[in-house]
């Protein structure tokens, strides 16, 4: 209601513009992947929020209020498109045994922002903070998307056995390396003992030979 224009028209535009962008996610998810689709949407949302913040700082700009309204509608639309992408990602990133739990936890964490938003973003009282929060939050979403891995064309796992098998393979590889090192050490020790014993034998034989020569000379 703090934006310029009719509040009902603004809400209609928000809901109407979202439809083609949400439908476009189904194409781009399979074309360029989930990660890059969400990254593009969040980058556009961050840009829109930043422009709304900049235009708010310029009081004498012509059609300033209308431009800010359009930027806010665009930001809301791009965030809705990114949310549609993460509905797919949330169901693909978790294995079947915890897929419902993971999807529910992600939705719960997302709803926390919806609960806190009316208390933080107060357009009438502190509009600068409101635009700053939207800009910073969208920027953090861009950074968070960069840390995700692509789930396109990946086989969804049913259990957690893949991770356990990987850990077991790593542990078996480490144990085999330790076993190889111990065998090498044990293989090198007998050669030292044999050489040492051989020297003793040669030394003992030489000493006995000298004693025999002394006896014969006597």
The predicted structure's pLDDT at residue 193: 42
The predicted structure's pLDDT at residue 65: 80
Band (pLDDT 50/70/90 cuts) for residue 45 is very high
* Weakest mean pLDDT among 4-18, 66-80, 153-167: 153-167
When pLDDT is averaged across residues 132-157 and rounded to a whole number, the result is 83
Percentage of residues in the chain with pLDDT exceeding 90? 7
* Weakest mean pLDDT among 91-95, 114-118, 169-173: 169-173
Q: Which of 153, 148, 137 is nearest to 36 (CA)?
A: 148
**C-alpha to C-alpha distance for 137 and 112, rounded to whole angstroms:** 13
What mean pLDDT is reported for the chain? 74
Q: Is pLDDT above 60 for 164?
A: no
Q: Is pLDDT above 60 for 38?
A: yes
pTM score, two decimals? 0.64
- For the chain, the structural domain boundaries read 7-156, 160-218
SS3 sequence of the chain:
CCCCCCHHHHHHHHHHHHHHHHHHHHHHHHHCCHHHHHHHHHHHHHHHHHHHHHHHCCCCCCCHHHHHHHHHHHHHHHHHHHHHHHHHHHHHCCCHHHHHHHHHHHHHHHHHHHHHHHHHCCCCCCHHHHHHHHHHHHHHHHHHHHCCCCCCCCCCCCCCHHHHHHHHHHHHHHHHHHHHHHHHHHHHHHHHHHHHHHHHHHHHHHHHHHHHHHHHHC
The predicted structure's pLDDT at residue 207: 46
The predicted structure's pLDDT at residue 52: 86
Is the CATH number 1.20.1250.20 carried by domain 7-156?
Answer: yes
pLDDT in tens, 97-136: 888 888 888 888 888 877 877 777 665 666 677 778 888 8
């Amino acid at each position: 209601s703090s934006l310029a224009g009719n509040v009902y028209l603004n809400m209609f535009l928000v809901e109407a513009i979202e439809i083609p962008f949400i439908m476009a996610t189904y194409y781009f998810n399979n074309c360029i992947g989930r990660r890059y689709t969400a990254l593009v949407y969040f980058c556009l949302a961050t840009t829109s929020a930043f422009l709304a913040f900049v235009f708010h700082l310029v009081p004498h700009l012509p059609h300033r209020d209308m431009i800010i309204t359009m930027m806010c509608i665009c930001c809301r639309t791009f965030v809705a498109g990114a949310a549609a992408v993460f509905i797919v990602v949330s169901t693909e990133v978790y294995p079947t045994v915890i897929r419902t739990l993971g999807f529910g936890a992600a939705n719960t964490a997302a709803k926390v922002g919806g609960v806190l938003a009316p208390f933080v973003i107060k357009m009438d009282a502190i509009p600068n903070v409101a635009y700053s929060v939207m800009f910073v939050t969208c920027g953090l979403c861009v950074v968070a998307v960069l840390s995700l891995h692509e789930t396109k064309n990946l086989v969804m796992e049913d259990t957690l056995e893949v991770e356990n098998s990987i850990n077991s393979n790593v542990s078996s590889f480490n144990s085999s390396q330790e076993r190889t090192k111990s065998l090498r050490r044990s293989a090198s020790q007998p050669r030292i003992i044999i050489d040492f014993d051989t020297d003793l034998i040669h030394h003992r034989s030489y000493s006995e030979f000298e004693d025999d020569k002394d006896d014969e000379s006597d």
